[in-house]
Amino acid sequence: MTDRVPPTTEAGAPDLPDTHGTPAAPPGQGHATGADSTAAETDRGGALIELTDLRKIYQMGDQQVHALAGVNLELGRGEFWAIMGASGSGKSTMLNVLGCLDRPTSGRYRLEGQDVAELDDDALSEFRLRHLGFIFQSFNLIPQLTVRENIELPLFYLGWEADRSAAHAAKIAERVGLGDRIEHRPNELSGGQQQRVAVARSLANDPPVLLADEPTGNLDTATSGQIMALLKELNQQGKTIIMVTHERDIAAHAQHHMHMRDGIVDRIVRDA
C-alpha cells in the first residue's frame, strides 16, 4: 500500500489530497467480475478489496442459510460503491465481513493486500482501528458519552494524548457541522445530527475505507441528502466508501452500483 503505481487510471474521484499517507494517486481499478481477475492478482493485490468465493453460512437448526453464497469481487481505492438488493439478499452480511466485524465461513478476503483470515483477534482489532470506519443505520453511539467523547473513541484506542485528541475531535465535529453541539449527549440530538456524529467518529482515525450500512435508513429525505453530501465530499477527498442501501435515489449518489440477490453479486453497474 505504498509506492505503487496503479495499473490503470480509470475515471473516478478527482485527484484530491490523500489523508492517510499513500501517495495522492488516482483511485485504483475496480474489477468486479467473477473469474477474470488477472491483472490485479500479480500486483500484490492491486485492488483495495479482493473477495474470492466468499461464503457465509448460518446454521439455523437443521437448516443452512447461505447469507453469502460465493462472492468474487475486486474493489478499487477511492471508489464509492452502493450495495443494493432485496431484503435478506446478504447486503449487511457482506458489509460486516468487509468490515472485519464478522468472519466468513469460507473463501478468501484480502484487504490492502492482507489476507484477513491470517489475522488473529488482536491484529484484526488493530486492522479495524487503522483501516476501517463504520457508519451504522442505528448510529451506534455510546449514549453516556458526549459528542466529543464519542468522536474521540478511536483516538483513545490509538493512544492519543487527551488534549490532542479533544482538539482533533472538535475539528472533525466542526467539519461535519456539529461544532456547537460538542458537549451534548447523543439523545439530545436529532437523528441526522446523531448520524453526523457517527460519521465524525468514523473519520477520527482517518481510515482509508468507510463502510456504511443504510446510513440514511432512519432519516428523512432532507437529512439523508445532507448525510449523502457529506459522504460524497469525503469520497472526493479520497476515502473509499462502501454503502448499503435499498433506496435508488440514495444509491444514485454513489459512483458504482452492485446488486445482490440470494447471497451472490448479481449485477455490477460501473459509473452509474
Partner 1 sequence: MQFNKLWRMLRLGVKSLLLHKLRSSLTMLGVVFGVGAVVAMLAVGEGASRKALDEIKALGSNNIMLTSKQNADNQAAAGSRSMVKFYGLKYDDEKRIRGTFSTVEHTVPTKDLRKNAFFGERSAELRIVGTTPQWFELVVRDVVAGRVLLERDMFTASNVCVLTESGARKLLAATSVIGEPLQVGSDVYEVIGIVRNEPGGTSGARTPDSEVDAYIPINVAKERYSDLMIRRASGSFQAEQVELHRILVSVKNIDDVEDTAAGLNRMMTLFHPEGDYELFVPLAVLRAARAQANIWKWTLFSIAAISLLVGGIGIMNIMLASVTERTREIGIRRAIGAKKNQIITQFLVETVVLSASGGFIGTIVGPAIAQVITFMSGIDTIVPLYSIVLAVGISMSIGIVFGLYPAVRAANLDPIDALRHD
128 binds partner 1 (CB under 8 A): yes
Residue 58 touches which member of ligand ATP, Mg ion, partner 1, none, C-beta under 5-8 Å by kind: ligand ATP
Q: How far is the CB of 93 from Mg ion (least distance, A)?
A: 8
Beta strands in the chain (DSSP E): 49-60, 63-75, 80-85, 106-111, 114-115, 132-135, 209-213, 240-244, 256-261, 264-269
Q: How far is the CB of 27 from Mg ion (least distance, A)?
A: 26
87 binds ligand ATP (CB under 6 A): yes
Print burial letters for 52-63: b (CB count within 10 Å at least 16), e (below 16).
bebbbeeeeeee
Tell me the one-letter amino acid at 227. I
Which of 155, 246, 154, 231 lies closest to 192 in space, CA to CA? 231
52 binds ligand ATP (CB under 6 A): no
Q: How far is the CB of 95 from Mg ion (least distance, A)?
A: 8
- The H-or-E segment that residue 227 falls in is helix 221-236
186 binds partner 1 (CB under 8 A): no
140 binds partner 1 (CB under 8 A): yes
Q: What is the distance between the alpha carbons of residues 92 and 78, in angstroms, rounded to a whole number?
A: 21
Q: Which is nearer to partner 1, 82 or 204 (CB)?
A: 204
206 binds partner 1 (CB under 8 A): no
Q: How big is the chain by its Cα radius of gyration, in Å?
A: 18
Q: Name the residues that contact partner 1, by CB under 8 A.
A: 96, 99, 101-103, 121-122, 125-130, 132, 134, 136, 140-142, 144-145, 153-154, 156-158, 162, 201, 205
Binding site for ligand ATP (CB under 6 A): 58, 60, 65, 67, 85, 87-93, 246
